[in-house]
Amino acid sequence: MKSLLAAAALASGIAFAAPATAVTVDPNAGLVDYVFFFNGVGSSAVFNGHDTLEITLTALSTFSIHVEDGFVMVDAWDLVIDGVTVAWDTITGGDGAPNGTAAIGSGGGYFEAIAQLTLGAGTHTIDLTQTAGIPGGSWINISPVTMAPVPLPAGGALLLGGLAGLAALRRQMRA
């Protein structure tokens, strides 16, 4: 019976894909010069045998992602966060060396891009999709996260003003 179901699934074109796996990124440490590989235009990056990177944030947080190619000058990637393509903040020519997040704009003809992200609490997936070039490998850097400042809502200021007004009114009534 099992072989009959398997044959029917193959005959109908249904493929059973292996579940996606992810490399867990420590939000306090980030990643430095982490090598990823890709199989050509339209392919997703492969991170040490895994499909994506995954980062879990406990609160609204800010961090940067920096990608630099070092093998072929025509390679380029889209940044994909939680399944949505996100624009790079800066795209420039890199020197093709694994030199960390501080080296943006070091000059050269290799693809180099950086994106500053602010994401809410939860688990987020990070992926890269190759948009130009040939199969190969490159580097990704993810900065340690910083907690984004939580703004005091306007209602908080109004509440404090109202309490101060009530306190002033109470003093006047006592006098």
What digits encode the pLDDT tens for the residues 38-85?
888 888 888 888 888 999 999 889 999 988 887 777 788 899 999 999
Q: What are phi and psi of 165, to 5 degrees?
A: -65, -40
Confidence band for 36, pLDDT divided at 50, 70 and 90: confident
Beta carbons of 75 and 136 less than 8 angstroms apart:
yes
Q: In CATH, which of 3.40.190.10, 2.60.120.380, 3.40.50.300, 3.30.70.20 is domain 20-170?
A: 2.60.120.380
pLDDT more than 70, % of the chain? 73
What digits encode the pLDDT tens for the residues 69-81?
877 777 888 999 9
Q: Which residues have C-beta within 8 Å of that of residue 116, sequence separation ≥ 6?
A: 62, 63, 64, 89
* 3-class SS of residue 101: helix
Confidence band for 99, pLDDT divided at 50, 70 and 90: low
pLDDT score, position 2? 40
